[in-house]
Structure 1
Amino acid sequence: MTSENISEYPEAYDAIVIGTGISGGWAAKELCENGLKTLVLERGPNVRHIDDYPTMHSESWDLKYRGKVDPEKIKGHSIHKRSGFVNAESGHWFVNYEDHPYNEPKRFDWIRGYHVGGRSIMWGRQSYRWSDMDFEANKVDGHGVDWPIRYNDISPWYDKVEAFIGVSGENRGLAHLPDGKLSAPMELNCVEKDLQKNIEENFDDDRLLMIGRVANKTGDAVHEGRSNCQYRNRCIRGCPFGGYFSSNSSTLPAAERTGNMHLRANSIAYEIVYDDTTGLASGVKIIDAETHEKIFFKASIIFNCASTIASTSILLQSKSKRFPNGMGNDSGELGHNLMDHHYGVGASADVEGYDDKYYKGRRPNGFYIPRFQNLGNEKTAAKDYVRGFGYQGGASRTGWERAVAELSFGKTLKEELLKPGHWRIGMTGFGECLPYHENKMSLNYDILDKWGLPTLDLDAEFKENELKMQQDMMNQAVAIFKAAGYKNVKGRIGTPIPGDCIHEMGTARMGHDPKTSVLNKHNQIHAVPNVYVTDGACMTSSACQNPSLTYMALTARAANHAADIFKKNKTN
């Protein structure tokens, strides 16, 4: 290690987890609860639950510029500015692009959070299971490679995860959207119920509307250190009640309670070291983000959970005589098959007849219309594209924001604006992206970051299948609102941007064959079985459902697999 001017930490750990977000938190919890002494690495600063949520109680008038973008703080956030993710309420969670640059042969919005908890603090919390239709899709239509698992392999882990994180919602008995271990659903408002009824009456296919399944706690189940959702709808700021699931409020405290976790923040993992003698990984190299000191930590098991692009970047940098093109890259697929959901297309409308109705609270959830195209029967078959999409949306009454230049001034205007406005409804489609080999990420050694590490080139685009699906997503949304008799129905469609949905997946896919994939059915690197990758990098296809619940279930499954092997090896 001396050639790199790197020091070796004297203690060897049973396991190292890289990353503290959705997947890393679950890996830490499961490994620690199985008795493994575990080092958890986070490249950003520590964020302590409750103590480090600076805007959790702030009202708009408490914030500079009433919560709008501070011109000083927007500096360095060019990527997030164009995506709308920087404001006074939550902008502190998002990575400064100038400090952490990347390169875009084609536009790619890489939205990141470098801190303990990662994007589990800021995520949208929508939590849906995948079905066999999703796990079999590649095999059925020939795109990508076949998943090495099916729904039955992961179903019990969905059970475990849902029960622990607290997912509220309703079960509808759909084969393509399996039922879950759900707590009491949030309530649809009157207009959403009206749309639900209209869909049932006007369409004879498989479309229906339900409240979203969301990782906001409801019901009577006890979740240590957490209270039920308070309907503040300030989740992205960090919730002092623990009303929604995050690593900070849930999995990391569970890992810490075991006494087996050592959390090290400000630790940039950049290489997993391969041992030619054992044929296994021996540990992880990090750079201290503050001191720039390089340290090597030893461990028997490595969980790479830094997030899709970051995890694959670490593997690509993990070069050796055995793996000259990156650890586990025998197939040449490492860095390829980069996916994201395409969205930003849908419809909106005015709704009449409910002006005497209102609702209470700020529900942090909306309605969900599950996929109803290409479900394997003639009635739902789309003519010009494969796979499908779902909708997320909501209805509300307009408020004082409806005051526009055309309105008059004076007492009458002020009094009118204090009353609820008319009802509006809208929905946005989330569509599946196919796994294209040419959609890829790669290391750029010509442009280094301030720690001397290569930056990344992100080269991906949506293609003909996604663009045709987008058109249908808009057309079907318009048709649903028009069939309900709503007024001023307007469809919307634009140019979908990869990364913008923040559901990036792929780049180190699972598969049966080491010649065409990076990971096996247990999320182990085929040729380095003590290295597991369980975040979005492992995904073989994208489905159209929000993916985080699946990441968590895969992680819990893999961590228990690793712990079982570790315990057997210790007793032999």
Structure 2
Amino acid sequence: MNENVVYDAIVVGTGISGGWAAKELCENGLKTLVLERGPMVKHIQDYKTMNDDPWDYPLKGELSDKELQQYPKQRRLGWAPKEDVKHFFVNDLEHPYQETKRFDWIRGYHVGGRSLTWGRQSYRWSDIDFEANKKEGVAVDWPVRYKDISPWYDKVESYIGVSGEKLGLKQLPDGQFQPPMELNCVEKELQNAMGTQFEDGRLLTIGRAAHITENTTAFEGRGPCQYRSRCWRGCPFGGYFSSNSSTLPAAERTGNMTLRPNSIVHEVVYDEKQKKATGVKIIDAETQEKLEFKGKIVFLCASAMASVGILLQSKSKTFPNGMGNNHDELGRNIMDHHYQLGASAKVDGHLDKYYKGRRPNGFYIPRFVNLDEKTKRKEFLRGFGYQGGASRNHWSDMVAEMGYGKALKEAILKPGGWEIGMTGFGEMLPHHDNRVSLSQDKKDKWGLPQLDFDVEFKENELHMREAIKEEAVAILKAAGFKNVQSYDTETGPGLGIHEMGGARMGKDPKTSVLNKHNQVHDVPNVYVTDGAFMTSASCVNPSLTYMAFTARAANHAAEQFKQHKFS
């Protein structure tokens, strides 16, 4: 590649946000360089485990003790990395970070990023979310409202394919939906019980998931979900949305995209005379070669913490503490969602019923607290929702110690009884002292400073966690289910894999890093559209919101470019 070429735009990262930035910029005619720090992953061709079965692995999918040593932080998840998806998770020994306080930073460095392994739950924010900071006097006010983002939610949902049910809830706006997936018999039983046992408006619906559910030609090479539930390996059918199956091919079709994997961006270059960014510096992950690429616009979509790290390393006379950081706001207000706490239960009956396929989606219980005076809680601000599902036990639960011969053979051919469980996703407030910074003495193998996390759940979060467990138990008991038990796995922030903040949006450059269009206040040709821009966290999965803001920002950048604002 020629370092002297000046690209119209440079996009850093190829995940949920980077794919959308590339698509929108390229479709607007901008010659765009897309940089990814990890290796290439080609749709279908590089999904090397997409058709594997458990018996294809020596340890039934588990990693050996030696392999587990490479993932001391990634394996905090519990369900990954396994043999079938380990290549989509970073080796912690090669990509270390520091923890002043525990932070579970779950990552995947490759083309497509975590768009290949995300949970695909896709929910809109409402003005309850966008207005909360201002109404409660928390942090700073969002510079946008729902009406500003609603058209971009429409655009994104229509393009990626989101299946779901319309509910007419003020706290969870409806969208452009594909036909919903179906609840099973036990989930319907819980749905009915919730409708009769509670007076605060709580309800259960099928999850809103980025899966195509009807056979249509509208999605350019993608087909409907096949109910294999092997999504995290890469879907050869394109049934769920990922950058690899959707936005990056769209960008490539324009002829305007240049994609360069194995490119570790570590600095946005700032020109003191022009008072703007002129490109980025990279280290080639394979050759260690140091290069600089020039561009008129830079989009940081490397994932929230990585983008913050790049800005912190982008030092100059104008920005001695990092680009956009003259007021010490960069790296602060880090958030995540509560995760891995809730309740489970046994369910009697329905033994004559089963289900077809492996539905890659569960049920969803939208937020029902702190919505009005009737649902107000004194112990904490904001709210939470639940994701969960019901299924029949593994056959081994039916095998008694004395089972053998004919009894054993009969037992292993029958599914067990029904179980149901749910986990809470709750909002974390943007505490100013929850921050990430550059380590003063620890560097990675490329000589770059490691990130150091100083983030914790505080009093509001701890009170909410108790409520999440209590209400989960109450919901399952109200349905008459048996052996209801709460659970709370020891965790730190980060494990929800919804890390956000660090370069928040706002109206005042003294208290925020970005403006309402995702531009760095003091460097308007630099946009940040991954989770770093979030001013608060809501309690719903954030990826749909990242995509909507990215599409909006990329179109804003294209308009500014065509008006020669970045020349």
TM tier relative to shorter chain: over 0.9
TM-score of the superposed pair, with normalisation by structure 2: 0.98
CA RMSD of aligned residues (A): 1.4
Q: How does 1:391-540 map to 2 (within 5 A)?
A: 391-403=386-398, 406-540=401-535
Q: Are the aligned partners of 1:148 and 1:510 in contact in 2 as well (CA < 8 Å)?
A: yes
The separation in 2 between residues aligned to 1:77 and 1:388, in whole angstroms, is 33
Deviation at 1:82, TM superposition (A): 2.9
* 1:333 pairs with 2:329: yes
More divergent stretch after superposition (264-273 vs 328-337): 328-337
The separation in 1 between residues aligned to 2:398 and 2:259, in whole angstroms, is 50
Q: Are the aligned partners of 1:284 and 1:297 in contact in 2 as well (CA < 8 Å)?
A: yes
Q: Decide which of 284, 289, 298 is 2:285's aligned counterpart.
A: 289
Q: Are the aligned partners of 1:462 and 1:496 in contact in 2 as well (CA < 8 Å)?
A: no
Structure 2 residue ranges without an equivalent (≥5): none
The separation in 2 between residues aligned to 1:401 and 1:299, in whole angstroms, is 59
More divergent stretch after superposition (68-77 vs 415-424): 68-77
1:323-346 Cα deviation digits (max 9, x unpaired): 000001122110001100012111
1:409-450 Cα deviation digits (max 9, x unpaired): 332022112111111111011000000111110001311111
Q: Decide which of 139, 149, 152 is 1:144's aligned counterpart.
A: 139
* 1:44 pairs with 2:9: no
* 1:219 pairs with 2:214: yes
Alignment length (residue pairs):
565
Residue 309 of structure 1: SS of its match in structure 2?
helix
The separation in 2 between residues aligned to 1:568 and 1:428, in whole angstroms, is 48
Q: How does 1:127-142 map to 2 (within 5 A)?
A: 127-142=122-137
Deviation at 1:8, TM superposition (A): 7.6
Deviation at 1:186, TM superposition (A): 0.1
* 1:165 pairs with 2:160: yes
* 1:201 pairs with 2:200: no
Deviation at 1:18, TM superposition (A): 0.2
1:234-276 Cα deviation digits (max 9, x unpaired): 0000000001000000000000000000000000000001111
Q: How does 1:180-329 map to 2 (within 5 A)?
A: 180-221=175-216, 222-329=218-325
Residue 562 of structure 1: SS of its match in structure 2?
helix
1:302-334 Cα deviation digits (max 9, x unpaired): 000000000000000000000000001122110
1:26-55 Cα deviation digits (max 9, x unpaired): 000000000000000000000000010110
Write the letter of the residue equivalent to 1:454.
P
Identify the residue that residue 124 of structure 1 maps to in structure 2.
119
Change (3 A) 1:407 1:334: farther
Q: Decide which of 10, 23, 28 is 2:4's aligned counterpart.
A: 10
Deviation at 1:407, TM superposition (A): 4.9
Write the letter of the residue equivalent to 2:11.
V
Identify the residue that residue 73 of structure 1 maps to in structure 2.
67
The separation in 1 between residues aligned to 2:265 and 2:566, in whole angstroms, is 31
The separation in 2 between residues aligned to 1:235 and 1:361, in whole angstroms, is 14
Structure 1 residue ranges without an equivalent (≥5): 1-6
Identify the residue that residue 361 of structure 1 maps to in structure 2.
357
Identify the residue that residue 100 of structure 1 maps to in structure 2.
95
Q: Are the aligned partners of 1:399 and 1:419 in contact in 2 as well (CA < 8 Å)?
A: no
* 1:26 pairs with 2:20: yes
Residue 155 of structure 2: SS of its match in structure 1?
helix
Q: Are the aligned partners of 1:461 and 1:498 in contact in 2 as well (CA < 8 Å)?
A: yes
Deviation at 1:75, TM superposition (A): 3.1
More divergent stretch after superposition (420-429 vs 403-412): 403-412
Q: Are the aligned partners of 1:8 and 1:295 in contact in 2 as well (CA < 8 Å)?
A: no
The separation in 1 between residues aligned to 2:199 and 2:150, in whole angstroms, is 30
Q: Are the aligned partners of 2:215 and 2:223 in contact in 1 as well (CA < 8 Å)?
A: no
More divergent stretch after superposition (559-568 vs 407-416): 407-416
Q: Are the aligned partners of 1:14 and 1:301 in contact in 2 as well (CA < 8 Å)?
A: yes
Q: Are the aligned partners of 1:70 and 1:88 in contact in 2 as well (CA < 8 Å)?
A: no
The separation in 1 between residues aligned to 2:91 and 2:56, in whole angstroms, is 24
The separation in 1 between residues aligned to 2:249 and 2:4, in whole angstroms, is 26
Deviation at 1:144, TM superposition (A): 1.2
Residue 374 of structure 2: SS of its match in structure 1?
helix
1:176-213 Cα deviation digits (max 9, x unpaired): 10000010000000110110010001111120000000
Q: Are the aligned partners of 1:200 and 1:208 in contact in 2 as well (CA < 8 Å)?
A: yes
The separation in 1 between residues aligned to 2:204 and 2:146, in whole angstroms, is 24
Deviation at 1:404, TM superposition (A): 6.1
Deviation at 1:570, TM superposition (A): 7.9
Deviation at 1:491, TM superposition (A): 1.3
Q: Are the aligned partners of 2:335 and 2:429 in contact in 1 as well (CA < 8 Å)?
A: yes
